[in-house]
Amino acid sequence: MTESPTYVEVQTPAGRVRGAWREVAGSSVRSASFLGIPFAQAPVGELRFAAPRAVEPWPDVRDALEQGATAQRGDPGVTLIPEPSVPGESTLNANVFTPAPGDTAAKLPVLVWIHGGGYVAGSPASPWYDGRAFNRDGVVTVSIGYRLGFDGFGHIDGAPSNRGVRDWLAGLEWVQQNIAAFGGDPSRVTIAGQSAGGGAVLTLLGMPAAQHLFHGVYALSGALADVAPERARAFSAKMARELGVPATREGFSSVSEEDVLAAQRKLSQLDLSSMGETVDEGLGLGPAVDGDLIIRPTAQSLAQGVGADKPLVLGATDDEFSMAVQDQASKLRWIPLALLLRPFKLTSAVRRGYLAANQPVVARGHAAVLGRLITDKMFRTGVVKTARARGAAPTWVYRIAFRSTKFDAAVHCIDVPFFFDCLDGPVVDALTGPHPPQALADAIHAAAVAFVKTGDPGWTAWSAVPDSGVVFGAPPATQTEETGGFASVEPLL
């Protein structure tokens, strides 16, 4: 017989919300979940391409027992994380997980998670993002939704820029105004995310308008967009032509969400021939340099000292996108490397230097080289560039070397279940392979908890000793400090 949940209520400025208590396995701590709390009005109708608008108060107790609607529609198959789509219009929601609901004196540190998905997909409703393990360790956890794809990031004449970014800001403002009621301390907020979510928190770190909303940043496999203005306008023009409407707010508002998504997917399809351009120029949709919220590319802002008072942890897996070309290994082995790498426009000297610096990868075959180059140009070089741009600002670097026994590589997203210490979560073994090591989850999660609580993850900072960092999951050790863990990307810098 299944026991009925024990409910718990919290008073927020907009109204009272009802969540549910649940046990945290392996501990005496109870955790409460509050799901689908709106932090802004539904972005539909006249608000579809508008900046987020404050939510209207509600008079009665609002149930926060089920996941709210998500901006993701259907399953686009973009991520390796179970990120369900929930139908509905009110997509700007927050999920709160806390061991101290209603205890305004608890003042626990707060982790705010921004999901990934290439800025076009993903969902805050993933069971992997449940914060119960962080709750067990004394951290309140929040996940937030935001508008995706063209609705969130497309350049539209007559509409505010970077609507998805404005959603992040609205969610973080909500945390500042509400989290004390859930036992959190608004003066101790760490923002974190993976992939596009990692790019999101780096974007926020370099954004002057966001500095008052958080106090530390943890970026997992951050994929920055920093879409150039001309690239944003060009994609908008392509969308308008595809849809047969003017490239204006009025024109795009006349088209259904379904038709916009269909056009977006058609214009964003990737293959090997276009991969080089995408890797070099970045994603067509995502946070754009608009001269308003995002004044300049993020690395430039960081180099000028924006966010220098905030500690940062960032890193990547060794083989982020290697699996994207893995199934073509038998064909790629016959293509000369110089020809295979031609779309990436490397000079002969850079290509030779890169291959010399990556001999263990070269030994694994041409597909491994192509996958590592994509990984390095999209993720690993960004780690080094960001750490160097920060100068003396407190910065720690890591890399994940744990190789999935299913993919035989340290693939994209593999760090997430270790970060959240949720190896018992659904379909984790589909990514990691069977029996992922709990000791690795203990180490990666403990570092995250330490950083959220103290601003130091527990290893030598890159800002103190350049090129230093830690590697997680490189046999035989679970965690090892190292120097030069990203040296193999140096020819690309």
pLDDT at 2 over 50: no
The reply to whether domains 7-281 and 311-492 share a CATH topology is: yes
Sequence spans of domains, the chain: 7-281, 311-492
86-113 tens-digit pLDDT: 999 999 999 999 999 999 999 999 999 9
List the one residue out of 299, 269, 271, 272 whose CA is nearest residue 284: 269
Task: Please classify residue 27 by burial: count the beta carbons closer than 10 Å to its beta carbon, then call 0-12 exposed, 13-18 middle and 19+ buried.
Answer: middle
pLDDT at position 274: 56
DSSP character at residue 315: E
Tell me what pLDDT residue 331 has. Answer: 83
Closest to 318 measured CA to CA, from 405, 398, 411? 411
Alpha-helical regions (H) of 268-358: 272-281, 298-303, 323-326, 329-332, 337-340, 348-357
Percentage of the chain exceeding pLDDT 70: 96
At the top level of CATH, the class of 311-492 is alpha beta
Q: Please say whether the beta carbons of 82 and 126 come within 8 A.
A: yes
Q: What CATH number should be reported for the domain whose range is 7-281?
A: 3.40.50.1820
Of 18, 47, 23, 210, which Cα lies nearest the Cα of 133? 23
Convert the pLDDT of each residue in 426-481 to its tens digit.
Answer: 999 999 999 999 999 999 999 999 999 999 999 999 999 999 999 999 999 999 99
Preceding omega of 476 cis (within 30 degrees of 0): yes
Q: How confident is the model at residue 1 (pLDDT cuts 50, 70, 90)?
A: very low
Q: Is 412 a catalytic residue?
A: yes
Distances in Å between the Cα of 20 and the Cα atoms of 17, 23, 34 are 10, 10, 7
Average the pLDDT over 148-177 and give the result.
97
Mean pLDDT score, 60-64: 97
For residue 105, count other CB atoms closer than 10 A to its CB.
7
Question: What pLDDT, in 10s, does the model give residues 11-43?
Answer: 999 999 999 999 998 888 999 999 999 999 999
Summarize the confidence of residues 293-303 as an average pLDDT.
96
pTM score of the predicted model: 0.95
The DSSP secondary-structure symbol of 409 reads B
pLDDT at residue 248 above 50?
yes
Which is catalytic among the residues 155, 215, 366, 412?
412
Residues 72, 85 contacting (CB under 8 angstroms): yes
Selected catalytic residue, list 33, 143, 161, 195: 195
Per-residue DSSP letter, 248: B
Catalytic: which of 31, 115, 320, 482? 320
Q: Is the pLDDT of residue 76 over 90?
A: no
Mean pLDDT rounded to a whole number for the chain: 93
Interval 334-350 mean pLDDT: 89
Question: Is a pLDDT exceeding 90 seen at residue 79?
Answer: no
Instruction: Provide the pLDDT confidence category of residue 270 given band limits of 50, 70 and 90.
Output: low
Q: What is the pLDDT of residues 164-189, one digit of tens each?
A: 999 999 999 999 999 999 999 999 99
| Per-residue model confidence (pLDDT) at position 271 | 59
